[in-house]
Structure 1
Amino acid sequence: MKNHILKSISYIFHPLIMPLLGVVFYFSKTPRFIPDIIIKAKLFSVFILTIILPILMYFLLKTIKKIDSIHLKSTQERVVPLAVNIFIIALIITRIFPHNEVIELYYFFVGILCSTIACLFLAFLKVKASIHMLAACGFFMFIVALSVHFKINVNGTLAIMMIILGAIATSRLHLEAHTNAELVIGSFIGLFPQLILLKFWL
């Protein structure tokens, strides 16, 4: 039972959903007026590019035997998916959230891009960072930044996210997907770019 719960946590809070959660959180908290049709179009575009497209790419890469499983257990398996994700995030930055439209989400995705590039660089060095922790910690930092930026109280959300971060870390350790060091590295490269970029929009 415990094994199933912890395994489910890794799937429920998969890295693919974190960018979309960031966009949903932004649109639910922003005090700015944004037409519903624009919000829906942006959400749909992000959903297609960050979830549907990577899933299709996964099946393609598995078919041509570039990866063995969705878990990307080796650093070599991570190279192509991370490179594809870099392209997708760059596309989002240039086409969906350009600098002159929604500056908060622009820098959120720039942070994700920097984290993904760092993860790819580490993969070339045969260092395996936790992508789960990278994505979740990046999203967590974005929530903190928005709460300060918009002067809103999101203590409940932050408390829940801290529990989720602990659950993700526990899950990855229990499933022997990562070591403590790999979790720390993933957390750092998820948080740090978002933190550094705050000076450009906060």
Structure 2
Amino acid sequence: MKWLIKSISYLFHPIIMPILAIHFYFKKTPRFIPEGFVNAKLISLLILTVVLPILVYFLLKTLSKAESIHLKTTKERILPLLVNCFILGLLLIRVFPIDQIPELYFFFIAVLISNLTCLLFAILKFKASLHMVATGSVFMFFIAFAIHFSININGSLALMALILGAVATSRLHLKAHTNKELIVGLFIGIIPQLIVLQYWL
């Protein structure tokens, strides 16, 4: 059981969630998007949001600046969050500019706001759950996507709700966060997505 709980934290780690959201978008969108374009975007996203953060983590671990990929202390979080904000800025400029796919551009604008908020909280010594930030952000994006395109994705929404619950349970069971840290993380993920809805919904 403990192995399963730990696996959930790794399987739905914050660095995985953006690529899950974008893969979902390309699979479900009613718009025609060339396959070559989709593959190029997914590869770029994989490199910038998964491969690069993992390399940065190993660098920080080598320099004794991080003990775990889950960044257990607020001090450990500051530098990775700064790097992640830079990566998100690069994504917005080079991979998902507003003139290509506005929905994804504003999704990442909201993710950037969430990251900056988490950075501020880390500086203030509060450890909001990054797992809940990422999962909550993607869940809200799925809801907005369904409304925007008037598509029935109730199965996907139900699955995301289960994932959200599983992630929260996992983090609590592993004693990685308190209830307060999970709830704050969830709101940090959801609220920026709600704020940017007016620009693309």
What is the TM-score with the length of structure 1 in the denominator? Answer: 0.98
Q: Paired residue for 2:99?
A: 100
Rounded Cα–Cα distance in structure 1 between residues aligned with 2:169 and 2:14:
16
Structural RMSD (CA) = 0.6
Q: Which segment drifts farther, 62-71 or 92-101?
A: 62-71
Distance apart, 1:166 and its partner CA: 0.6
Q: Paired residue for 1:174?
A: 173
Q: Paired residue for 1:55?
A: 54
Distance apart, 1:70 and its partner CA: 1.2
Q: Paired residue for 1:160?
A: 159
Rounded Cα–Cα distance in structure 2 between residues aligned with 1:109 and 1:29:
18
Q: Secondary structure at the match of 1:168?
A: helix
AA of the residue aligned to 1:166: G
Distance apart, 1:38 and its partner CA: 0.5
AA of the residue aligned to 1:154: I
2:15 equivalent to 1:41: no
Rounded Cα–Cα distance in structure 1 between residues aligned with 2:20 and 2:70:
21
Distance apart, 1:66 and its partner CA: 1.0
2:27 equivalent to 1:23: no
Distance apart, 1:31 and its partner CA: 1.4
2:148 equivalent to 1:149: yes
Q: How does 1:113-128 map to 2 (within 5 A)?
A: 113-128=112-127
Q: Secondary structure at the match of 1:100?
A: coil
1:99-128 Cα distance to aligned partner (Å, 9 max, x none)? 111000000000100000000000000000
AA of the residue aligned to 2:132: M
Rounded Cα–Cα distance in structure 1 between residues aligned with 2:38 and 2:72:
36
Q: Where has structure 1 moved over 6 Å in runs of 4 or more?
A: none
Q: How does 1:68-147 map to 2 (within 5 A)?
A: 68-147=67-146
AA of the residue aligned to 1:27: F
Q: How does 1:3-18 map to 2 (within 5 A)?
A: 3-18=2-17
1:17-69 Cα distance to aligned partner (Å, 9 max, x none)? 11101111111111111111000000000000000000000000100111112
Rounded Cα–Cα distance in structure 2 between residues aligned with 1:143 and 1:186:
18
Distance apart, 1:71 and its partner CA: 1.9
AA of the residue aligned to 1:125: L
What is the TM-score with the length of structure 2 in the denominator? Answer: 0.99
AA of the residue aligned to 1:40: N
AA of the residue aligned to 1:62: K
Q: Secondary structure at the match of 1:126?
A: coil
Rounded Cα–Cα distance in structure 1 between residues aligned with 2:48 and 2:12:
18
Unaligned runs of 5+ in 2: none
Rounded Cα–Cα distance in structure 2 between residues aligned with 1:160 and 1:19:
16
Rounded Cα–Cα distance in structure 1 between residues aligned with 2:72 and 2:32:
44
| Number of corresponding residues | 201
Rounded Cα–Cα distance in structure 2 between residues aligned with 1:97 and 1:13:
23
Q: Secondary structure at the match of 1:176?
A: coil
Q: Percent identity?
A: 58
